[in-house]
Amino acid sequence: MSTSTLSPRTGRVPFSGTPAQAAVRLARAGLYGEYVVYEREGAWWYAGGVRARLVADRTHVTLDAEGTRTRTAWQDDLPAAVHRALSTLPGSDWRAYGWATFELSYALAGDAAELGEEALVHLVVPEAEIRLSADGAEVRCSDAAAEAAALAVLDAAEPAAGHGEFSPLPVDLGGGADGPYGKSVAHAVDAIRNGDLQKVILSRAVEVDGEVDLPATYLAGRSVNSPARSFLLDLGGIEAAGFSPETVVEVSADGHVSTQPLAGTRALSGNPAEDAARRADLLTDAKEIYEHAISVQVAWEEMAQVCREGSVRAEEFMSVKERGSVQHIASRVSGELPYADRGPWPALAAVFPAVTASGVPKAAAYRAIRQLEQEPRGLYSGAVLTVGANGFLDAALVLRTVFRQHGRTWLRAGAGIVEQSTPEREFEETCEKLRSVSRSLVPASQ
């Protein structure tokens, strides 16, 4: 596993189809056993193969690079251990891609004893990195043969338009106060009234029967969603296609950092007048405004822990973002990191997991989630992320996603529970969010 420098970035080369279609062709082509496709701000990155791999679990950080494995106990500071390991990689222009599970939050909170041996963070520096945008592709590969193979895929004709037959999945079964999710919501409301916590996001999984074509589902889902980020990946034994409504954290190379909490939801009907009425109702609903306000407060406090004093501010407050089948109240909190030698990892650790996918206060929310949800979350409500040698980091919150692992395929969605919540409404909110993906599942061809 060599980490020799990738070839210089080519000049922009043309490709057939849209950037999303070209990225999916690269993923389908089987050029590498593992890959990540990541969409950010109008461009798609395809990262294929493995030049170096970093895996962090509840006790160690393991780095495979240059044919050598280094395994280090991280003890009390996992972000620092990850940063130190990545800092040993040669070169100054590498970029890593990968994921972090929700259970990373327990390790960051000093509560790793009950975790198993599963990976909490899995990152790879790829053998091929291809940036795709409307004005062409920029290709970097580990050798000339790999570059020729990638260019051939980019030049291939795009298959006929269309995604095949969709197989919409019913997501509204088992609802009501007497269903499993409704009972969990009622328990959470009781805990909130008892003063144990202020808010908790409780989620539920919906199983998908039959085989799903994940790349085709990604293209179909992207055509009906308007995500902040999107991704398609097969990495570390996990496959996923998702349409993230918000970022966990964004860190630029110069230390500017921001987070984008979304909380408060109404369904989108496709009727402009009806959606405008729902938007107006959303922005005047006391329960939804409270849920959003306490999320923004937590985000502000977390950012203040790692940002330069006086630099934290709200760049955006209580706008409304349309995300696929729903609309959310959105805010953005930003600041400036006061250091350069620790990398972006303290910023990620400060806000991870997103408050909009965990609760307030987070420690109490973790206890409620463990008690009331039926299984570990894994990648759901964790992050898919990319990080660069220059200190850049971009982490998408893993929601609105179809997952596949160990022969199982499923969807998952949650709702923010506060004192005013009712089981019926919170169940319906999970249905509204699940439909962002469930309506565009594409069965695998026979």
Rounded to an integer, what distance in angstroms lies between the CA atom of residue 244 and that of residue 228? 6
Rounded to an integer, what distance in angstroms lies between the CA atom of residue 67 and that of residue 264? 49
Is 246 annotated in the active site?
yes
Query: Which candidate, 338, 269, 331, places its Cα nearest to that of 310?
Result: 338
Residue of 127, 246, 288, 373 marked catalytic: 246
- For helices 144-155 and 19-28, the axis angle rounded to 10 degrees is 130
H or E stretch including 151?
helix 144-155
Query: Which candidate, 222, 248, 243, 275, places its Cα nearest to that of 401?
Result: 243
The tokens describing 231, both together, are: 């991704």
Query: Which candidate, 238, 251, 253, 255, places its Cα nearest to that of 102?
Result: 238
DSSP string, 332-366: EEEEE-S-STTTTHHHHHHHPSPGGGSEESHHHHH
Q: Is 289 strand, coil or helix?
A: helix
Q: What are phi and psi of 35, to 5 degrees?
A: -160, 160
Structure letter (DSSP) for residue 445: P
**Residues 6+ positions from 346 with CB-CB distance below 8 Å:** 79, 306, 337
DSSP string, 7-61: PPPPPPB--SS-HHHHHHHHHHTTSSS-EEEEEETTEEEEEES-SEEEEE-SSEE
Q: Is 196 strand, coil or helix?
A: coil
Catalytic residues: 246
